[in-house]
Amino acid sequence: MASLGARAGAASLGRAGAAVTAANVVVNLAAYLVPLLGARYLTSDDLGALATAMALFAIATVPGMGLQTAIAVSVARGEEPANLGRTSVMTALLCGAPLLLATPLLVAVLDLPVMVPPLIAAMTVPIVLACRSLGELQGRSRFSKLAVGLAVIALGRYAGVVVGLAAGLGLVGSLVVGVAAAWLAFPVLARLGHSLVIASGRLRGGAVFTAASATLAMLVASYADLILARTVLPAAASGAYAVGAVLTRGAIWAPQVITMLALPRLAQGHRRTLMTGLCLVAGAGLALVGLTAVASELAVRVVGGSDYLYLTVDAPWFAALGAVYAVIFFLLNAQIAASARWPSAPLWLGVVTLPPAILVLGRPSIGSVLACALLVAVAAATAMLIRVLRTAPPPATPPSAALSSADQGQMHAL
C-alpha cells in the first residue's frame, strides 16, 4: 500500500510539475512577445523607452517574488500569519511609490515620456499584491492552482501591453492597457486563495526583506557577466556574448519548477527533499550542458543565427554557467526556508569579485570573461552548499489538514 501511495504521489507531483512548467512557458512567452511586437509597431525611440520601462517594471516587482517566497515558507511551516494583507499592501506600496516619486528624475535621466513612470508604478502595485496568493498556494503545495496563478499573473504582467501594441495604441496607450490588465488579474488571483484560512501568527517584515534581497542578488549576479562584457569587450564581441547568454538564461530557469515544488518541504526541514531536489537540479543542468555540447551548432543557430556559429565552442560553457546558477537558486531557496541569516551573502561577494577578476586579465575575451564568471559562480555555489548542509530549519507541522489527498501525495513524493 505504501508503494502504491508513493507511486500515486509521484504521479501527482509529476502532473503538478508539468502544469507549473507549462505556466512558466506562458510567462516567458508573454515576456518575449512584448519586445517582439514593440519592434514591429513602435518607432526606435519608443521601442527603447518600452524596453527601459519593462526593465524598471521587472526590477520594481522583485520584492513581490520575495514576498511570495516568505509567505510560502511561513505557510508551509503551519505558522498561519494573520498580517498577510497588511504586509502585502506595505510591500506593494514600497515597490510602486519610489517609481512615482522618482518620475522627474527618471524622465530626465532615461529620456522617458512623463506618463511612463506613473504607469509602471500603477502596474507594479497589483502584481506585487497578487504575489500573496501565489505564496499561499505554494506554501500549501496546491501546485495545480499555483500553475493557474502563474499563468494569470503572466497575463497581468504582459497581456495588456501586448494587446495595446498589437492594436497600435503606441507606447503610452499600451502601458495604460497594461495597467488595466494588471488590476484585473489581481482579484482573479485573490479568488484562487479564498479557501485558504489564515488564522494567527505574524509574518515578519525581515523575512520578506531577506527573501526579496536574495531574489535581487540572484538577478544581479546572473546578469553581472553580461553587463561587464558590454563594458570590457569590443561591441561585436559583447553582442556575441549576449547571444551566448541566452543559453545561460535557459539553463538557469529550466529546472526552476523543481525549486518551486520543493520549497514547502524545505521549509518543514525535510533533508531528503534537500538532497533529492539538489540532485535533480544538478542532474538537469548536466543534461542541458551535455545536450548543448552535442548540438552546439544547432543551439547557437536557434538563439543567434548563422552569424554567430563561432560561438559553438563556448556554447556548452554558457549552459554550464546557467546550470551552476540554477543550483545556486535552489540553495538560495533552501537557506531562506531554513531562516538562514544573509543567505545571499556569497552571491553579493561574487558580484563584487567578478569585475576585478575580469580586469586582471588585461585583454579580456569572450572565453576569459565566461571563465571568470563560471569560476566565481562555482565558488559562490560551493560556499552556499556548505552553509546549507550546516543549517537545518526546525521541524514544523505542515497544515496537512487543509490539503486534499492529491496535494498530500504531491508533498510526500519528495
The string of pLDDT tens digits covering residues 115-124 is 999 999 999 9
pLDDT of residue 82: 67
Task: Report the C-alpha gap between 315 and 167 in whole angstroms.
Answer: 38
Higher pLDDT, 332 or 227: 332
- Which pLDDT belongs to residue 401? 41
- State residue 17's pLDDT score: 64
pLDDT at 198 over 70: no
pLDDT at residue 216 is higher than 60: yes
* 73 shares its domain with 198: yes
pLDDT confidence of residue 30: 75
Total domains in the chain come to 2
The CA distances from residue 211 to 96, 106, 326, in Å, are 18, 27, 17
* End-to-end CA separation in angstroms for the chain: 18
314 assigned to some structural domain = yes
Same domain as 256, residue 144: no
Whether the per-residue pLDDT at 85 is higher than 50: the answer is: yes
Domain that holds residue 263: 213-390
The whole-number pLDDT of residue 294 equals 94
SS3 81: coil
Quick one: 181 and 73 in the same domain?
yes
Same domain, 198 and 301: no
- Max CA-CA distance within the chain? 67
Residue 240 has a pLDDT of 84
Q: Which of 366, 83, 73, 325 is nearest to 217 (CA)?
A: 325
Position with higher pLDDT, 344 vs 80: 344
The reply to whether 400 falls in a domain is no
pLDDT, mean of residues 152-176: 92
Mean pLDDT (whole number) for 89-105? 93
pTM above 0.85, yes or no: no
Specify the 3-state DSSP secondary structure of 268: coil
Mean pLDDT lowest for which of 3-17, 168-182, 192-206, 354-368? 3-17
Asked if residue 401 is part of any domain, the answer here is no
Residue 210 C-alpha from the chain's centroid: 15
Average predicted confidence (pLDDT) for the chain: 83
**pLDDT above 70: residue 2:** no
